[in-house]
Homo-oligomer: A and B are copies of this chain.
Amino acid sequence: MKKNQKIIAPFFEIGPKNYIYGDRILDLALAADAASEKYDVHVIFTAPYADIRRVDEATRNIHVFAPHMDALPIGRGLADVLPESVKAAGAQGVMLNHAERPLSYSLLEKTVQRAKRIGLYTIICADSITEVKAGAHLKPDIIVAEPAELIGTGERANFDYVVDACKAVQSVNPDVMVLIGAGISSGRDVYDAITHGSDAAGTSSGVACADDPLAMIDEMVHAARKAWDDREEIKLGQ
């Protein structure tokens, strides 16, 4: 029952985006839920708005996140996503500023503050190392560092980028956790991201477009656990 626990490293994020929908979202969520328990790894599942409640109700371990929300107050805004709405549906957090839904920095700041006021976790996505730093200044729970041009390509960022992103967050705000995204397409990619210093890795197409998405989830969550344990062992050995 990890769902009720605070998210700590190592963790993993799956966001199927719009690659799949309906019942297949639920299948993925159930697989993620099982892997989370099996490997004792927190898993964030970023669900389409319409699936947040169903996914949350059907699972025990995963933390359901919204892919975006608007900072508007309760009231008008017909097609806007009210923070209280996704929270009431079961979302524990929200991803913001993804390359596919960028926000101005000023609006991002207001939206992070809005999320914090109602008790939602915040993830900020960033592209360059400079943007990673700028994001960390806003004190989110998590920074996603992912070179935008690699999203959806299956090609991951080089190790220097991973190391630099972790250092950049560390230099601004060591409390912020770092998740490496973009191009993560195997357990090996997850392992490498975490052993190079990140707290987590995440993927969309890496799972949604895999030959066997459910097996890939197991492989990746397993890799997150193994990477973390190996890192800890090395630390202890020193």
Q: List chain A positions with a Cβ less than 8 A from chain B.
A: 15, 17-23, 46, 48-54, 67-68, 72, 74-82, 84-86, 88-89, 91, 95, 97-109, 126-128, 130-131, 133-135, 137-138, 148, 151-152, 204-205
Contacts and interface: CB of A to CB of B under 8 A. Distances in A.
Contact of A17 (B54, B76, B138): B76
Given A131-B105, A134-B137, A15 B78 contact: yes
Residue of A50, A54, A98, A134 ringed by the most chain B CB atoms within 10 A: A50
The quantity of this chain's copies bound in the complex is: 4
Contacts of A80: 18, 100-101
Contact of A50 (B17, B46, B85, B109): B85
A49 B18 CA distance: 14
A63 to B, nearest CB: 16
Contacts of A106: 99, 102, 126-128, 131, 148
A100 B85 contact: no
Nearest to A68: B79
B101 A79 contact: yes
Contacts of A79: 67-68, 95, 98, 100-101
A237 to B, nearest CB: 37
Nearest to A57: B54
Given A68-B79, A79-B67, A152-B76, A18 B107 contact: no
Contacts of A152: 76
A89 B50 contact: yes
Given A22-B89, A50-B52, A100 B82 contact: no
Contact of A23 (B68, B88, B91, B137): B88
A101 B135 CA distance: 20
Given A18-B74, A50-B88, A109-B131, 7 more contacts: A18-B82, A78-B95, A78-B100, A99-B106, A102-B105, A109-B128, A134-B134
